[in-house]
Each structure stands twice: as structure tokens, then as C-alpha cells.
Amino acid sequence: MSDEEERKTPGSLADLRKEFLRLAQETDVRRFLAYGVPSASELLTSAEEIGNSLTKLNENDKAAFISDQGTVDFDLRQQWDNLGLTDLAVKETIEGPPSPMILAVKRPDYLGDAQWEFRHGKRTIRAKIKDKEWLDQFQERKVDVRPGDALRCEVAQTVKYGYDNELVAEIFTITKVNGVLENEYRQSDFFED
């Protein structure tokens, strides 16, 4: 998929999933109940993680994919970040209006331009905060938010589906922060210095 023409061809992700299924049939791994064809989302996440790892290397470094079929070197002269792999796999995008949510803070973004990490039920979600007024107050330390606290906010959700109608990506954007809900049971409250 690193070739410029191939990257513009929709359906290559579906072909990769079919190849996994073909290989599974050859190895008879499908007889195990836990086996499943990897989702488009899992494949894209893996590819993006490899790309993100390669961006940390310079042209003088070397990286290779080593398997039973041989070794393939990565071309580190190529730009590996922001390959747009998710966009290649998207057939349909559905955007919902902002709706109220309470998101437990796992990891705030103190730098200001990255995504925050939240817990919503048992799920971990990442979201960018677009409420500039609130974000400015947070960065100026006028608002105290700590891991374990929660944000009462308005969240817009964008859902992307692939050519096989499977979920490819979910994007969460916090459009408005209405308040901070402090965690009443912070660990630091139970331990004295």
C-alpha cells in the first residue's frame, strides 16, 4: 500500500482481509472457535502503529519486516506518518450532532493540540476538545482537571464504514465542556504525607 497508485485504490483492505481468510483455510486455523478474520479497523490500526514507529527513525536507520517467506526492508526515505490509510478504506461517513456525555478523564492533554484519553463505560476513547474558551482556561490553570475526574460535555461523533460495511473508525470531538465533575474518591485523599 506504500505505492502511490495502490494507495488510491479502494478495496485493497478488503483484499487483505480475504487473503487472511485464504491463509487461515490453508492452515486449518479456522477450526479453532476463537479465530476470526481481522476487522478492517484492526488492520488499519496495526498499519498506522507500524507507520508511527517508522517515523521515529531517520534515513540512516534500517527497519525490516522479517517472516518465514523472507525479509522486506522498509524505505525510510518515504514519509510514513499520515498515510491516510483509513480514508482509503472508507465507503461511507456518518456524522452525528453533538450530544451530552460524561467522560472520565484517563489522560489530559497538557500541550493543547493532541487528543485527550477518556473512559466511557468500559471503553477507552480519544477525543479532541474544540471548546477553545474552556481549553484556554485549562491551559492557564484556571480549571483543575485530574485523571479520574470527568467532563460533562457535548460530543460529536463521526463514524466511518468500509467497503465491507464494517466499522473502520470512530472519531469523537468535544464541542463544548459544560463542567468538571471531581472524583470524590481520589487516591491521594486516602494517603497522608
C-alpha cell belonging to residue 186: 481520589
Q: Identify the pLDDT of residue 12.
A: 64
DSSP letters along 90-119, please?
EEEEEEPPPEEEEEEEEE--SSSSS-EEEE
Domain spanning 92-186: CATH superfamily = Nucleic acid-binding proteins (2.40.50.140)
Please list the residue range(s) of the chain that carry CATH number 2.40.50.140: 92-186
Indicate whether this model's pTM tops 0.75.
no
Series of mean pLDDT values for 10-residue runs along the chain (193 residues): 49 69 69 65 77 80 87 80 70 94 92 85 93 92 91 96 84 96 65 45
Residue 105 and residue 126 in contact, taking contact as beta carbons nearer than 8 Å: no
